[in-house]
Structure 1
Amino acid sequence: MSSAPRTPARPHTPRAVVIGGGIGGLTAAVALRQSGWHTTVLERADSLEPVGAGIGLAPNSQRALDVVGLGDAVRALATWHGDGGLRTPSGRWLSRTDSRAAAERFGGPLVPLHRATLIEHLAARLPSDALLLGTSAVLADPGDPAGRPARVTTTRGDIAAELVVAADGIHSDARTALFPGHPGPRYTGVTAWRVVVPALDRPFPPHETWGSGALWGSQPLKDDRIYAYAAAAAPSGQRAGDDEKSELLRRFGDWHDPVPGIIAAADPEQVLRNDIWHQKDPLPAFHRGRTALLGDAAHAMAPFAGQGGNQAVEDAVVLAHCAPPDADLAAGLAAYTAQRLPRTTAVVRLSARIARLATLSNTPAVAVRNTLMAAASRLGPGLVLRTFDGIADWCPPQPTYAAGAAGAPPKRRREPSD
């Protein structure tokens, strides 16, 4: 008696679960899926509408996005409003930024855009069933690469996975579970505001303005809106009730144009305020068991070097490169830590140094800072730009697929001031 032929069993596709649907988490999901993982994103919010306003994508993260096919789409959003720079509250220019020199040095321009725009591009790269919104998640077991899978407890039930990526933000529960003895992020002593407003009547160059114990930044976006941010020394948790717009007016209303006009155009309900935290003490590793930390969960940094989101994007593509589904996961996660921990620790420290410099409040110290910034600018753009050497000129370990020269590695040229 013959039996019917048996259908061959379908090969198991290893599963990666990403906790957190922000920029880093979504980039990780896209990159891991591209490398062969079955990816699921667990996001506790009911939508992917990001909490935030703008982000500046530097050439390093643009090249990381090339790996997942989004670099060119991001570069198409670049704005060229002339050179900007650093100013004082009175409007005096301390230094001017040569945007073309920066693009040549680092392999592309800085691209400012709304966070929602980047989130939309990333989410479009994932199948709809890969995004589980309204799903809170807790890391129940980090797993063991030599044995048991990792396990995540969610409002939908437990999920087992060969890899868990914790991209759950500054106050990461997963980080605490993996490294319970680590002190975690600390308050920097600085609070920040962010807002996006419609374009003003007159165009203006992008700029950052440093005052005494406070700073302001204005950045035109491609879609004719303006992204503005401000920061000031303040006690942790201090708030201005329901009207942070009035607080901005009190602190920055007498600063140079276009600052007052931007504040006037702001919708009070759309002014975001958040205290700034950073992880001054690096973690011993960015992984444990089958679980990897990514972005702010791994290396929260002050935003003053403009690299927080950029480093999260880098993390994502490096993780996908180091930990393909058909390779030794323990070795892959160790390689991920080895590549990312020293680099991000250096960027955290640079961001902290810039934060201290930008928010000086001692009058003589502010005067010395301004004099030195102006002198550095007069000596040539290379002296200022080289602060970001080794950061903005980073290239991912994978081949990239950008169209044209914009995605190519930067061609460094020597400046007289270098």
Structure 2
Amino acid sequence: MARPHAVVIGGGIGGLTAARALLGGGWEVTVHERSRSLAPAGAGLAVAPNALRALDTLGLGDAVRERSSLHGGGIRRWDGRWLMRMDADRIRAWFGDPIVLLRRCTLVDLLAAGLPAGTVRTASAATVVDPGGRDRPARVTTGSGELTADLVVAADGIHSVTRRALFPETPAPVHAGFATWRFVVPADRPIVPAESWGRGAVVGLMPLADGTVYVYVSVSGAPREWTLEEHAALPRRFAHWHSPIPQLLAAAAPGEMLRNEVWYLDTPPRSYHHGRVALLGDAAHAMPPNLGQGGCQAIEDAVTLAHTVSGAGFADVPAALVRYTAARRPRAARVVRRSAQAGALLCSGYRSVATVRNIALVALGPFGPQVVRRSVTGIFDWSPPGAARR
């Protein structure tokens, strides 16, 4: 009997995780990525305990842990004063795993390496022309012709063509009120992992396992085009911040920096599926990066989707996708909302907000980590369906 066939639109972390998970469940999979390569747009990536558990179900969790550094350190003020210290072992004790950090390309390579030759087709845009139904397959057009599929996974990003076609009433993404810069540079000195907060700006320094440091910067403001003059002004903007922030910003060449205005889906689509098509990752729930959950939620989506359609016959796939929406939409919507709230607080340009925020964190004293624990419980303690807790 022929294996069921899934078409994945998008070769990012969510799409590749879905491909690995579906292959493990007995599906035949083809991944269509419109870019010429799988080289990811991004620099570093935080993988939280919830996503590590999901990767464990694919046999990839330990490979990610082995290639990662640990997220620890805590939170500092712009001048270097510590507001709260947090170590990785404490997070591991709470949730069974720490937050780990690695290059985004490392995770993409691990995911792609386990796919059979010919699974991924780059420079191949794909468009859903019929979402299918209980009695008919979905149809997808590509540059090389039309395909039919028992399942289509739309992992085509925040500006998803699939989402707009299937759910045209969904409002467009909204601006989060800030832009981000991300890059990786060599570390010529020991780097203390920490996130530093200032008025209208956040800078994170996260040492990676290969001796480099992942730097991310968020600055409040209305959306605008990036110019070379703005790149030159960035080190000046942070010249008075604590070392080594100014030095690391000055060391990054324009071509090494990825700059993005941050947009997110404030209003989710009414469903994460239509017919035989499932939305996944940013196509379903794009969020600000402030909780480090964008990629993690896409990984959760992928393993949940594969579990939900496992063993489903041809006619049963649309009903299985109803269960996928029920499992994922409420949870992801809560994480989007929490991420947007965190971004608004951390990147506020109001001096009074920044002052009160910092004073409140210092006032918590030794109770600060417990407050953090409560704030991420419900996110980090998620376990994949059908999986035993690590």
* TM-score category of the 2 structures, normalised to the smaller one: over 0.9
Contact 2:220 2:348 in 1 (8 A): no
Structure 2 residue aligned with 1:24? 14
Which runs of structure 2 are paired with 1:226-375 in the superposition (5 Å)?
226-239=213-226, 241-242=227-228, 245-327=231-313, 328-375=316-363
Closer, same or farther in 2 for the Cα pair 1:300/1:86, shift >3 Å? Answer: same
Consecutive aligned runs of 4 or more in structure 1 exceeding 3 Å deviation: 242-245
Q: Give the Cα separation in 1 of the matches to 2:348 and 2:312.
A: 51
Q: Give the Cα separation in 2 of the matches to 1:385 and 1:242.
A: 41
Structure 1 residue aligned with 2:58? 68
Give yes or no for the alignment of 1:36 onto 2:23.
no
Structure 2 residue aligned with 1:194? 182
The alpha-carbon deviation at position 245 of structure 1 amounts to 3.5
The alpha-carbon deviation at position 332 of structure 1 amounts to 1.1
Contact 1:377 1:384 in 2 (8 A): no
Which runs of structure 2 are paired with 1:30-109 in the superposition (5 Å)?
30-80=20-70, 83-109=72-98
Closer, same or farther in 2 for the Cα pair 1:166/1:80, shift >3 Å? Answer: closer
One-letter identity of the residue aligned with 2:349: S
Give yes or no for the alignment of 1:133 onto 2:105.
no
Q: Give the Cα separation in 2 of the matches to 1:384 and 1:13.
A: 46
The alpha-carbon deviation at position 104 of structure 1 amounts to 0.8
Q: Deviation digits for residues 351-404 of structure 1, max 9, x if unmatched?
A: 01100110122222211111011122432521222210010111101336xxxx
Q: Give the Cα separation in 2 of the matches to 1:123 and 1:242.
A: 34
Give yes or no for the alignment of 1:392 onto 2:380.
yes
Contact 1:245 1:263 in 2 (8 A): no
One-letter identity of the residue aligned with 1:228: V
One-letter identity of the residue aligned with 2:119: A
Q: Give the Cα separation in 2 of the matches to 1:366 and 1:374.
A: 12
Structure 1 residue aligned with 2:367? 379
Give yes or no for the alignment of 1:179 onto 2:167.
yes
Structure 2 residue aligned with 1:110? 99
Contact 2:91 2:97 in 1 (8 A): yes
Closer, same or farther in 2 for the Cα pair 1:80/1:129, shift >3 Å? Answer: closer
Contact 1:78 1:109 in 2 (8 A): no
Q: Give the Cα separation in 1 of the matches to 2:7 and 2:224.
A: 33
Structure 1 residue aligned with 2:146? 158
Q: Give the Cα separation in 1 of the matches to 2:80 and 2:361.
A: 15
One-letter identity of the residue aligned with 1:305: L
TM-score in terms of structure 2 length: 0.96
Give secondary structure in 1 for the equivalent of 2:243.
coil
Q: Considering only CA atoms, is the larger Rg found in Structure 1 or Structure 2?
A: 1
Give secondary structure in 2 for the equivalent of 1:274.
strand
Contact 1:376 1:384 in 2 (8 A): no
Contact 1:244 1:268 in 2 (8 A): no
Give yes or no for the alignment of 1:123 onto 2:112.
yes
Give secondary structure in 2 for the equivalent of 1:227.
strand
CA RMSD of aligned residues (A): 1.4
The alpha-carbon deviation at position 243 of structure 1 amounts to 5.4
Q: Deviation digits for residues 35-62 of structure 1, max 9, x if unmatched?
A: 0110000001111111111110001000
Give secondary structure in 2 for the equivalent of 1:129.
coil
One-letter identity of the residue aligned with 1:254: H
Closer, same or farther in 2 for the Cα pair 1:190/1:59, shift >3 Å? Answer: same
Structure 1 residue aligned with 2:157? 169
Q: Give the Cα separation in 1 of the matches to 2:229 and 2:7.
A: 39
Q: Deviation digits for residues 264-292 of structure 1, max 9, x if unmatched?
A: 22122111101101111122110000000
The alpha-carbon deviation at position 184 of structure 1 amounts to 2.9
The alpha-carbon deviation at position 247 of structure 1 amounts to 3.2
The alpha-carbon deviation at position 242 of structure 1 amounts to 3.3
One-letter identity of the residue aligned with 1:86: I
Q: Deviation digits for residues 280-338 of structure 1, max 9, x if unmatched?
A: 11221100000000000000000001100000000000000001253421221011100
Q: Give the Cα separation in 2 of the matches to 1:355 and 1:80.
A: 23
Structure 2 residue aligned with 1:414? none
Contact 1:245 1:266 in 2 (8 A): no
Q: Give the Cα separation in 2 of the matches to 1:377 and 1:305.
A: 22
Mind listing any 5+ residue stretches in structure 2 that lack a counterpart?
none
One-letter identity of the residue aligned with 1:306: G
The alpha-carbon deviation at position 14 of structure 1 amounts to 1.1
Closer, same or farther in 2 for the Cα pair 1:243/1:299, shift >3 Å? Answer: same
The alpha-carbon deviation at position 244 of structure 1 amounts to 5.0
The alpha-carbon deviation at position 188 of structure 1 amounts to 1.2
Structure 2 residue aligned with 1:4? none
Contact 1:18 1:40 in 2 (8 A): yes
Give yes or no for the alignment of 1:203 onto 2:190.
yes
Q: Give the Cα separation in 2 of the matches to 1:329 and 1:157.
A: 24
Q: Give the Cα separation in 2 of the matches to 1:215 and 1:332.
A: 42
Q: Give the Cα separation in 1 of the matches to 2:299 and 2:365.
A: 30
Q: Give the Cα separation in 2 of the matches to 1:262 and 1:209.
A: 14
Mind listing any 5+ residue stretches in structure 1 that lack a counterpart?
1-10, 401-407, 410-418
One-letter identity of the residue aligned with 2:279: L
